[in-house]
């Protein structure tokens, strides 16, 4: 697998690079991520940089994490919840009825009814 999209090399017309003389390459670290489809992705970042906790898998686009045994999304305990499920989590049915009655009453007042 190619090591990424890092642009290497010299500008046109520059002298051949002699690393010891021209510049010291910055220290690097390789960080490897796995997505839940077992795609492995390695990125190379500066050694003193903090690796991002997630990286988008370049093959399938899912978030990938640094823990091969526990990629993001695989061991998700909670199943997908609908918006309504979240609302029901926050509000009881009684609260919902009260809110609805309140809203209807306000609507009727505005319309000059009741």
As annotated, the binding site for Zn(2+) includes 35, 39, 57, 60
Closer Cβ to Zn ion, 35 or 43, answer by number: 35
CA-based end-to-end distance of the chain: 73
Number of residues this chain uses to bind Zn ion (CB under 5 A): 6
Q: Does 60 bind Zn ion (CB under 5 A)?
A: yes
Nearest approach in angstroms of CB 75 to Zn ion is 16
Residue 87 burial (CB < 10 Å; 0-12/13-18/19+)? Answer: exposed
- Please give the Cα distance from 41 to 35 (Å, whole number): 8
- Please give the Cα distance from 102 to 105 (Å, whole number): 5
Q: Does 43 bind Zn ion (CB under 5 A)?
A: no
Q: Does 35 bind Zn ion (CB under 5 A)?
A: yes
Q: Does 101 bind Zn ion (CB under 5 A)?
A: no
Q: Which helix (H) or strand (E) holds 22?
A: helix 19-22
Name the residues that contact Zn ion, by CB under 5 A: 35, 37, 39, 57, 59-60
């Amino acid at each position: 697998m190619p090591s990424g999209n890092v642009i290497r090399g010299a500008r046109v017309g520059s002298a051949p690079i002699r690393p010891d003389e021209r510049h010291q390459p910055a220290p690097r670290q390789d960080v490897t991520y796995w997505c839940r489809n077992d795609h492995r992705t390695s990125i190379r970042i500066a050694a003193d940089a903090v690796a991002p906790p997630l990286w988008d898998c370049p093959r399938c686009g899912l978030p990938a994490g640094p823990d091969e045994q526990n990629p993001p999304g695989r061991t998700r305990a909670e199943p997908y919840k609908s918006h309504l499920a979240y609302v029901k989590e926050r509000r009881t049915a009684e609260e919902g009825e009260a809110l609805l009655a309140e809203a209807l009453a306000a609507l009727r007042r505005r319309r000059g009814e009741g």
